[in-house]
Amino acid sequence: MDFDATPYLKLYIDKEGRWFQNGSEIIHPGIYVLFCGALEATERGGYQVRLGNQICRVEVEDTPFVVKSVSEDETGQILMRLNDGTLEAFDPEKFWISADGIPYCRVKGDVFAARVLRPAYYELSRHVIEEENSYYFLTGDRKVPVDLR
């Protein structure tokens, strides 16, 4: 169930994954991480933050999470660092490029979409090959087509 927005608190996430409260950027790391962890997707396709019994609607420019960087662990697993500082394993089957050329993937247990920022996209592209005018991710022993929407 969605609740009415808290009238005195306006939360906004821009396309770079920066959070703003009433027009000012949230720069305190603890508050930033707290809000990211309390973020929920609503039944109506929106977003809200729930802290205790307080709920506040969140306006999101593009996606609530962004992939800031990509690295590999010692086993060759591709890891994504999100704007909230967490690491997630990259799954090429949950990656796509939108019609306007913006890369995205699913994160947080498939609950949220995340925009892949340019530096992370360049790192991911190192794992892409082209064969017969099609593009594929090569990860370990997997060859997965790149989803172009």
The pLDDT score that the predictor gives to residue 1 is 38
Listed in sequence order, the residues at least 6 apart from 100 whose beta carbon sits closer than 8 Å to its beta carbon are: none
Residue 2: is its pLDDT beyond 70? no
Residues of the chain with pLDDT > 70: what percent?
95
The pLDDT score that the predictor gives to residue 7 is 60
What is the rounded CA–CA span in Å between residue 40 and residue 24?
Answer: 22
Q: Which domains does the chain have, with CATH numbers?
A: 11-60 (3.10.540.10), 65-141 (2.30.270)
The pLDDT score that the predictor gives to residue 6 is 55
Tokens of 23: 């027009």
- Provide the terminal-to-terminal Cα distance of the chain, rounded to the nearest Å: 31
User: Any idea how long the chain is?
Assistant: 149
Kind and range of the H or E element at 32?
helix 29-38
With CA atoms as reference, report the closest residue to 55 among 11, 111, 108. 11
Model confidence over 60-108: pLDDT tens digits? 999 999 999 999 999 889 999 999 999 999 999 999 999 999 999 999 9
pTM of the model: 0.89
